[in-house]
């Protein structure tokens, strides 16, 4: 099977869902628009990392070993990560995986399962996995693959891309958490999300040097500078959103926090 390219991923994403591309703005296709933003964001992040790969502590060893990150593969992984929503909303991870595997896209199917679990750990999810068989299937799959930057990139993109565009992870988590509610691992998921985000910042000493050279602040060169569509107002509200989110988690946290599974 040939590798899927970004154009094919886009066609497959909208196949049987949208016959007229202008329909993509319709309310019922919100998830498709979210996938488009995740794909675009994944591509942009790869370009940014490749341009400065030696100044991203988390990614530089992988790139030294494997070469520059593959922008097209990242875009494909982003476009199709939620493709299972064609079949079932609550079971979209496993249904998306089956859908792509049935078409022969075994490697591309990866992001359908990995995108919801930061660092490919089933505990690091915004909501619990339903069904024992499904839990075991996903957990076994996550243990069978080695974590790559592409997994992390789609995991992060899923956490700052709304169906209306890019936002901060704090704003996106507020949106997810208020819609889906809280469960035992919500606080773990929040902490993991912030840790994940930090890996996409340039190394601090390089940032400092670059900010000096350009006569700007370090904030102007932060991860979010790759996404100038995010308004200053939203960026300035990060701390406020973070506090609101943490308060919401703490106020609604079940009495006996427990990990689903310890690694
Ligand atoms: Fe998603």
Over residues 30-44, the pLDDT tens digits come to 899 999 999 999 999
In the predicted structure, residue 258 carries a pLDDT above the cut 70: no
Predicted structure pTM score: 0.92
Q: Report the C-alpha gap between 173 and 179 in whole angstroms.
A: 10
Tens digit of each residue's pLDDT (9 = 90 or more) over 182-201: 999 999 999 999 999 999 99
Name the 3-class secondary structure at 162. strand
The structural domains of the chain, with segments of one domain joined by +, span 6-252
Banded pLDDT at 28 (limits 50, 70, 90): low
- Residue whose structure tokens are 């370090």: 218
How high does pLDDT run on average in the chain?
A: 92
**3-state SS class at 166:** strand
- Cα(35) to ligand 1 centroid in Å equals 6
Pick the closest to residue 80 from 50, 101, 49, 59 (CA basis): 101
Q: Look at residue 165 and give its three-state secondary structure.
A: strand
pLDDT in tens, 94-141: 999 999 999 999 999 999 999 999 999 999 999 999 899 999 999 999
The C-alpha atoms of residue 263 and residue 256 are separated, in whole angstroms, by 19
Q: Tell me phi and psi for residue 162, to 5 degrees.
A: -90, 180
The pair phi, psi for residue 165, each rounded to 5°, is 140, -165
Q: Given this model, what pLDDT does residue 12 score?
A: 93
CB 90 within 8 A of CB 155: no
Residue 45 DSSP label: H
CA of 180 to the centre of ligand 1 (A): 13
Rounded to whole angstroms, the Cα distance separating 61 from 1 reads: 30
Centre of ligand 1 from the C-alpha of residue 63, in Å: 26
**Cα–ligand 1 centroid distance for 32 (angstroms):** 9
Taking the domain 6-252, which CATH number applies?
1.10.3210
Query: Near ion ligand 1, which residues have CB within 5 Å?
Result: 82, 158
Residues with Cβ within 8 Å of 10's Cβ and at least 6 positions away in sequence, in order, are 36, 39, 79
Q: What's the half-sphere exposure (Cβ side, CA atoms, 13 Å) at 106?
A: 3
Residue 263 has pLDDT above 60, yes or no: no
The first and second tokens of residue 100, run together, are: 């792509």
Both tokens of 120, joined, read 């490919």
- Interval between CA 164 and ligand 1 midpoint (Å): 13
Residue 243 reports pLDDT greater than 80: yes
């Amino acid at each position: 099977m040939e590798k899927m390219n970004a154009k094919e991923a886009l066609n497959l994403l909208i196949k049987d869902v949208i016959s007229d591309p202008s329909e993509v703005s319709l309310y019922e296709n919100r998830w498709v628009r979210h996938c488009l933003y995740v794909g675009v964001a994944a591509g942009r992040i790869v370009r940014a990392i490749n341009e400065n790969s030696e100044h991203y502590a988390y990614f530089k060893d992988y790139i030294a070993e494997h070469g520059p990150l593959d922008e097209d593969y990242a875009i494909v992984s982003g476009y199709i990560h939620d493709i299972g929503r064609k079949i079932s909303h609550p079971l979209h991870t496993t249904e998306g995986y089956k859908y792509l595997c049935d078409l022969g896209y075994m490697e591309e199917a990866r992001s359908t399962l990995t995108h919801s679990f930061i660092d490919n750990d089933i505990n690091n999810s915004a909501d619990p996995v339903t069904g024992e068989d499904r839990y075991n299937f996903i957990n076994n799959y996550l243990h069978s693959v080695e974590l790559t930057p592409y997994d992390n990139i789609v995991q992060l993109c899923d956490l700052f891309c709304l169906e209306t565009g890019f936002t901060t992870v704090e704003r996106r988590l507020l949106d997810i958490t208020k819609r889906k509610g809280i469960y035992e691992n919500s606080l773990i998921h929040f902490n993991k999300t912030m840790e994940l985000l930090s890996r996409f910042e340039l190394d601090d000493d390089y940032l400092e040097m670059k900010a000096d050279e350009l006569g700007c602040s370090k904030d102007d060169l932060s991860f979010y500078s790759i996404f100038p569509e995010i308004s200053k107002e939203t960026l300035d509200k990060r701390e406020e959103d973070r506090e609101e989110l943490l308060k919401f988690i703490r106020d609604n946290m079940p009495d006996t926090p427990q990990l689903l599974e310890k690694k």
